[in-house]
Structure 1
Amino acid sequence: MAWKTLDDMDLDGKVVLTRVDINVPVENGQVTDDTRIRRILPTIHDILAKGGKPVLLAHFGRPKGDRVPEMSLAIVRPALEAALGLPVGFAKDCIGAPAKVAVAGMEAGQVLLLENTRYHAEEPKNDPAFAASLAALGDVYCNDAFSAAHRAHGSTEGIARLLPSCAGRLMQAELSALEAALGQPQRPVVAVVGGAKVSTKLDLLGNLVARVNHLVIGGGMANTFLAAQGLDVGKSLAEHDMADTAREILAKAKDVGCEIVLPRDIVVAREFKANADNMTVPADACPVEAMILDAGPETLAHIQTVIEGARTLIMNGPLGVFEMEPFQTGTFAMLDVIAAQTAAGTLTSVAGGGDTVAAINAAGHGDDFTYISTAGGAFLEWMEGKTLPGVAALEG
C-alpha cells in the first residue's frame, strides 16, 4: 500500500490536522447516533499517545459557504467529549485568527475541534489558498474520513498535497478491508448487489462483473433483469427501459465467466404492506396483479451454496423489502450464512451502504462481518473502480 499510516509518522510535539467525519444525526440539538464519533476515537487516542496534538477538521451538513448556526460543530462537541472521555477545545473558525490562536494555545494531551469547514465556499471548490490556510495551522495531516474521500475538497485533497500525510486508523481499516475484498482478494469472490434501480448502479455492476466469480442481484434490480429475459414481473418495481443494458451485463458476465445469480423462485404479494397475503412461485410465474417482494427458498438455497464455496464476499444492498414482515426472510437468511462462514474463518466479508448496514443491524449481525463500512458514497465509488481523490492524495 502506497499510503502511510500513523505508525510511519513522527508526531511527538507536532500539531496533527486530522480530517474526520462527525457529520452525525442531530435532533433538538442532541446527537442521536454517535457511531461516527466512536469510530474516530482510535485515531485520536493514538495521536495523543505518540505525543501529537490532534486538531480536528470536519464538515457538518451543507451550509454552502454560510455560517448556519444549526450546522455549527459546537453542537457535536458534547457528544465528542463524552465519547472521548476528555475535554475538547473549540475554535469558531477553521482558518484565520480564531483557529491560529486556539492551535497556538494547545498543550500536550489536549484535543481541539475547529468549526465547520463548509462554512467556507472555498472548501468544496478545493481552493488552493483555502487549503494553504488550513495547512498553515499544523505540521502533519492525517485523513481519517474515508466517507469523504470521494470529494476533492480543500480539507480532503488540497491539504494532503501540502503537508506530510497519512491515513488514520479508520481510513486504514477501510482501505485494508476494501483491498482485501476487491484489490487482492482470495477467490472465489461473490458480490451481493441489491437496491431499487439498475440505473443507479450501472458502473458498479460493470466493474464487478469483471472482478468477481459470482454476482448475486437482488431487490428491484433483480426484477429488471428478470423482465429483460422476457419474464412477466407483474406490478413489481422494475426499470423496463433498462432491458438492453441488463442484457448487455448478462452477456458480459457470460464472456468473462462470472455467474449472475438471479431469483429462481420469488415471494409475491398483491399489496405493498407488512404481513400482506403472499405466496412463493417460480420466477417465471409472477401473477400480473402481484409484485415481487423477496427471494424464495430455492433461490436462497443456491445463494447459500455460492457463499459457502466463496472465500471473499462484498455486499451492497438487500435481497428484498427487508423493512417489512415477512419479506425480510431472504435477506436475513443470507446474512445468517454470511455470518456463519465469517465466524468459521472461511470467508472475508465486507459490506457497506445505508440500506445494507440497516439490514445487517436489523438481522442482529452488526458484529459478524469482517468489516462494515459506514462510508456510503465513497464505498460505492470504490466498488465502481473509481479513483477517490482523498485516497490518491495520500498516495501522492
Structure 2
Amino acid sequence: MEITGKSQVLPIRSRLRKFSFMSTLRKLQDTDVFGKTVLYRSPYDIALEQKDGAYVLSDDSRMTATLPTLTYLLQKQCKIVILAHIGRPAGKVDEALRTTPLAKHLSELLMLWKQRNTPVATLQECVGDEVTTYISQMSAGQIVMLENTRFHAEDDVDDDTFARQLCLNGEIVVHDGFPQAHRHQASVTGILRHLPSCAGLYFQKEYEQLSHLLEHVEHPFTVIIGGAKISDKTESIKNLSNKVDMFLVGGGVANVFLKAKGKAIGSSYIEEVPVESGKNDWVEFARTLLDRKLSGEQIEQYGNDLFEKVSPVVVQIPQDVRIETSKKTVVEKQVVDSEALAVEGDRILDIGSLTESFYSNVISRSKTVFWNGPLGMIEDERFSQGSYSVAAAMARSQANTSIAGGDTIAAAKSAIDLIDITHVSLAGGAALELLAGNKLPAVELLST
C-alpha cells in the first residue's frame, strides 16, 4: 500500500483480522533425529567485545536460550554441527568476528547446564573437504562449531551453491535461528531447501509466544521504535501503520523524523541511505508518515485529554531531546522552540524529560505495547534515562507488553525486572517483521 499524508485507518475489527496468518511449524519433538548428524542453525549473532586481550560475548542470552535444544539433541546421541554468523564482515575473514569465543562460552554454559564436560570444537572454515572429513570422524554426542558463514559473501545473497555446500555437513537441519528468520540467507533459508528440517525448541518458543501476542491484540496498540538505524524498519513501519494506533519514536530513528520535520540536528547520527536506488531517502520516507492523523475512535481510546498539548498524529516524535554539545556538556532542548535543535558538533543522544512523561502516559493508556530499539545511547548513563523511563512505564502497565531485541532487553534489564513484561523476545528484526504481518522466510520453509 502506498503511504500518503492522509489518514487511512482501518476499523478495529479489520485491523485485528490482519494478524490471522500463523503457520504450523515442524517440531523437533515430532522429528526422528536419533543418532543423526544435525546441522544446527544457531541464533548466535552475538556482539563480541575485547576484555583482557580476548574477545568475549557482550551478552549470552541467545546462547542460553538454545541450551534446551542442544541438550535434547545430545540425549538423542546426535553429532551436532553448529552454523552461526556474526556481524557484517562483508565476505572477508575478520579476526574480531571468528566463532571461537562463541564455542568457548558455549562449552562453559553446557558444563554448568549439564554438570559434565561437553567441549565444543571449532574449525577455521564452514565448507570444504577439511570440514566434511572432520565431521565424518565425529562420535555421537560431540559438537563442533563451524566458522562464521558471513566470511563467505555467498551467504548474504542466499547463493544456492553455497547452501548446498553447507548441507554436506549434516543429514537434517534443526533450526533455532529465529532472530534471523526474516532473512533470505544461504545459512538461514538456503539450507532448508536441501535437507529435511524442523524448528528447534527455542525457535518454537519465540514463534508461538509472538503468535499468541498477535492473536490477542487489544487496542489502543502502541509500538515504540528506537535504535540507531531506520533502514531495517521502514517496511515494518509502513505495514504496521494500518494496524497500530500510535508509534513513539526515539534513537537514531527519531533523528530521521526530526530532520523530516525541518529541524537541524547538527552532528547527530542519521542514516542517509536511499530506500531503493533512484527512489526516496529515509528522510523523505519519514515525511510521508509525519502528518497522518489519529481517527476519532483512536483519540477516544487514548483519551482526549492526552492531546491537549500534543497533536493527535500516528507517529509521535520527541517533544524535547538531550544533547551532548561539542564541549561534552548535556543540555535539554524543546523541539518546538528552535529550528536548529543542534549545531555542528552537537549530538542528539536521548529523548528529553517532557517526552519521557508523554511516552509513559501513552503506555499507561495502551492495552498492547511493543518496543524495539533503545531510545538513546544507553552505553552512556547520561543518555539512558529515556529508555529506562519507557521500560518502567511498561513494567507498571496493565497492558499486554512485549520487548524485542538484544539492545532493547539490555536497556530494560538495567531499569526493571523483566518478569513484569508479558513477553521478552531475543529477536528484534524478526519480531518486528512478524508484527507487521509479514511472512518470515524461514518460518515458511519450516512449516507443514
Q: TM-score range by the shorter chain?
A: 0.7 to 0.9
Mapping for residues 146-161 of structure 1, pairs under 5 Å: 146-161=178-193
Partner of 2:13: none
Matched with 1:110 is: 142
In the other structure, the counterpart of 1:30 is 55
Identity of aligned residues (%): 35
Work out the CA distance in 2 between the residues paired with 1:322 and 1:26: 16
CA drift at 1:83 = 1.4
Q: Using the alignment, how far apart are the partners of 1:347 and 1:107 within structure 2?
A: 46
Counterparts of 1:289 and 1:200, CA distance in 2: 26
The equivalent of 2:221 in structure 1 is 189
Please tell me the root mean square deviation across aligned C-alpha atoms, in Å.
4.0
1:69-108 counterparts in 2 under 5 A? Answer: 71-85=97-111, 86-108=118-140
The whole-number CA distance in structure 2 between the counterparts of 1:198 and 1:75 is 30
Q: 1:165 aligns with which of 197, 201, 205?
A: 197
Q: Distance in 1 between matches of 2:95 and 2:283?
A: 47
Quote the Cα distance in structure 2 between the aligned partners of 1:26 and 1:360: 21
Shift of 1:13: 1.9
Preserved contact between residue 17 and residue 56 of structure 1 (Cα < 8 Å): yes
1:303 pairs, out of 356, 359, 367, with 359
Residues in 2 aligned to 1:55 and 1:66: alpha-carbon distance in whole angstroms: 22
Q: Report the Cα offset of residue 257 of structure 1.
A: 6.3
User: Is it true that 1:202 corresponds to 2:256 in the alignment?
Assistant: no
Partner of 2:246: 214
Find the residue that maps to 1:115 and give its secondary structure: coil
Change in 2 beyond 3 A, CA 1:152/1:254: same
Return the alpha-carbon distance in structure 2 between the equivalents of residues 100 and 269 of structure 1.
54
Decide whether the 8 Å contact of 2:181 with 2:443 is kept in 1: yes
Q: CA deviation at 1:40?
A: 2.3
Distance across 2 between alignment mates of 1:175 and 1:191: 19
> Which residue number corresponds to residue 131 of structure 1?
163
* Correspondences of 1:363-378 after superposition (within 5 Å): 363-365=415-417, 368-378=420-430
How far residue 37 of structure 1 moved from its aligned partner, in angstroms, is 2.9
**C-alpha separation in 2, matches of 1:299 and 1:66:** 43
> How far apart are the structure 1 equivalents of 2:324 and 2:167?
59
Q: Give, in whole Å, the separation in 1 of the partners of 2:255 and 2:268.
A: 7
Matches of 1:124 and 1:209, distance apart in 2: 29
1:357 Cα offset (Å): 3.6
- The answer to which of 263-272 and 180-189 deviates more is 263-272
Please say if residues 90 and 150 of structure 2, whose CA atoms lie closer than 8 Å, have aligned partners that are also in contact. yes
- The answer to which of 121-130 and 145-154 deviates more is 121-130
For the residues of structure 2 that align with 1:125 and 1:201, how far apart are their CA atoms?
A: 20
Match of 2:441 in 1: 389
Q: TM-score, with normalisation over the residues of structure 2?
A: 0.70
CA distance in 1, matches of 2:287, 2:297: 15
Q: How many angstroms apart in 2 are the aligned matches of 1:223 and 1:129?
A: 41
Contact preservation (8 Å) 2:232, 2:429: no
Amino acid at match of 1:212: V
Which one-letter code corresponds to 2:320 in the other structure? I
Residue 112 of structure 2 corresponds to residue 59 of structure 1: no
Q: Letter of the aligned partner of 2:207 in structure 1?
A: L
For the 8 Å contact 2:405–2:429, the answer to whether it is kept is no
Structure 2 residue 207 is the aligned partner of structure 1 residue 175: yes
Aligned to 1:350: 403
For residues 83 and 438 of structure 2, the distance between their equivalents in structure 1, rounded to whole angstroms, comes to: 25
Does 2:314 match 1:260? yes
Contact 1:228 1:246 in 2 (8 A): yes
Change over 3 Å in CA distance of 1:235–1:72 after alignment to 2: closer
Superposed displacement of residue 162, structure 1: 2.0
Is 1:248 aligned with 2:288?
A: yes
Alignment correspondent of 1:360: 412
State how far apart, in whole Å, the 1-side matches of 2:349 and 2:136 are: 58
Name 2:368's counterpart in structure 1.
312
Distance change in 2, residues 1:15/1:246 (3 Å) = closer
Counterparts of 1:306 and 1:117, CA distance in 2: 42
In structure 1, the gaps of 5 or more residues are none
Question: Partner of 2:446: helix, strand, or coil?
Answer: helix
What is the aligned counterpart of 1:12 among 24, 34, 50?
Answer: 34
Cα 1:330–1:273 change in 2 (3 A) is: farther
**Rounded Cα–Cα distance in structure 1 between residues aligned with 2:378 and 2:92:** 39
CA drift at 1:248: 3.2
Q: Which moved more, 1:165-174 or 1:240-249?
A: 240-249
* Equivalent residue number for residue 333 of structure 1: 389
Q: How many residues align?
A: 389
Kindly state the Cα deviation for residue 192 of structure 1 after the two structures are TM-superposed. Answer: 0.7
Which whole-Å CA distance do the structure 2 matches of 1:120 and 1:264 have between them?
41
Deviation of 1:298 (Å):
5.4
Shift of 1:20: 1.1
Shift of 1:191: 0.3
Stretches of structure 2 lacking an aligned partner (at least 5 in a row): 1-22, 112-117, 273-280, 299-312
Partner of 1:141, secondary structure, is strand
